[in-house]
Amino acid sequence: MTKYIVQGGTPLFGEVEISGAKNAAVAIIPAALMVDGVCRIENIPQISDVTLCLRILEQLGASVRTMNRHTVEIDCRKIHSTRTQQNPAGKIRASYYLVGALLGRFGQAEVAMPGGCNFGGLRPIDQHVKGFSALGAKVIVEGGFIHAKSEAGRLKGANVYLDVVSVGATMNIMMAAAMAEGNTVIENAAKEPHIVDLANFLNSMGANIRGAGTDTIKIRGVDRLCGGTYAIIPDQIEAGTYMAAVAATGGQVLVKNIIPKHMDCITAKLQECGVEVEEREDTLLVRRSGPLRKANVKTMPYPGFPTDMQPQITTVLSLAQGTSLVTEGVWSNRYRYVDELRRMGANIQVDEKTAVVEGVDHLTGAPIQAYDLRAGAAMVIAALAAHGESEITGVQYIERGYEDIIQKLRRLGAKIRSVEEPDDGEERKASIG
């Protein structure tokens, strides 16, 4: 068992380099299945979800060659199967992107139901199914697998109106339609930066996709996608997490390798809380020296405040003066982490989708647990800001989406280390940095 030991109460100072976007990488890597040639993908984050995605492609017959720490070459010309194995495909949310990619290129797919973080029950795939069905596929979910097949062999373009704004469905339908016969229009599409990134990747390989980043995406199907080189965008949520860490602990950090426009929704809310943010070309200088102020937050689809930043901003607000309201507008249950913050002295009451946060003077170190990826990031922020020592377990969730988080934080002056323990609880090995 791995856990993090954090000695809190130290402001953060220095520079942090943001990695490639997890939410883009876990869609772009499956999209490489559609490419009849070698595609070189750069700025890939070193996280466990990416490792699993690459392993799945190899199981299907792809050749994956690691060029350096953040660059891989993927050759999918010799794919021998359109059925994933239960392990590792069933471990990650992004497994459902394999359906759109395999269905788009081969007309069929059998993919294990998605895993990943659990909040709000099972992740619904009804909008994905609606889109695939409109394109001419028959979709059945049974035995823990999504079975999708086009009886005609190739999908046919169609108009798809999403009943709810869904990032996953938008990306999945876009992939499937990229090689469909004729034109496809996706209406009420999600607009997140990683949707634009996926469209740009597919276009760079020969697809014809217009309108990504708006609520209407138009796709003209092509017969073949060819190889090429593409660099993934920086991670909006990783950058926001480090910004929130500075807000909670105080200090000054230069957040490097970001697209400032993607950060506007997070920057504006932190500024409302009394955090200074100075925007430059591809960096943000984040500083907090005075007290934190209360704020109200509601998560919404992009360009609104992201649901993936909700636990982090709630942790910041737990240290702000006054009463803040946090409303979750995307997922039905994303407050499991609140009990952990209460163990540290936070004063938070949850009523369905709304959290009432009464700011406290300080948090106190405690044994706490990460229940999912972003809640885990919030636990790290809380521990960094707290008085005393905290132990964080469940860190495998954190490592699904944050590259080198221990090393990056230590370079900012944080007192944090990773410790491995055997099951009997006897400390066997400590890793510092």
Active-site positions read: 117
Say which residues have a Cβ less than 8 Å from residue 361's Cβ, sequence separation at least 6.
none
The token pair at 44 is 């890939």
The token pair at 107 is 């007309």
Q: How far apart are CA 132 and CA 109, in angstroms?
A: 11
The edge-to-edge listing of strands for the beta sheet with 2-7 is 367-369, 389-393, 2-7, 415-420, 429-431
φ/ψ of residue 226, rounded to 5: -105, 170
Q: In this structure, are strands 297-298 and 71-75 parallel, antiparallel, or unpaired?
A: unpaired
Cα-based distances in Å from 410 to 313, 385, 400: 22, 14, 19
Alpha carbon distance, N-terminus to C-terminus of the chain: 17
H/E stretch holding 15 reads strand 12-17
* Per-position b or e across 281-313, b if 16+ CB within 10 A of its CB: eebbebbbeeebbbbebebbbbeebbbbbbbbb
Residue of 211, 216, 149, 141 whose CA lies nearest to 176 = 149
Q: Is 178 helix (H, G, I), strand (E, B) or coil?
A: helix
Q: Which amino acid is at 213?
A: G
φ/ψ of residue 41, rounded to 5: -115, 125
Tell me how far the alpha carbon of residue 193 is from its chain's centroid: 11
Neighbours of 84 (CB within 10 A): 23
Tokens 């500083």, residue located: 287
Q: How far apart are CA 92 and CA 117, in angstroms?
A: 8
Q: How far apart are CA 96 and CA 61, in angstroms?
A: 18
The token pair at 382 is 């809380």
Bond from prior residue into 114 cis (ω within 30 degrees of 0) = no
Q: How far apart are CA 62 and CA 57, in angstroms?
A: 5
Neighbours of 58 (CB within 10 A): 11
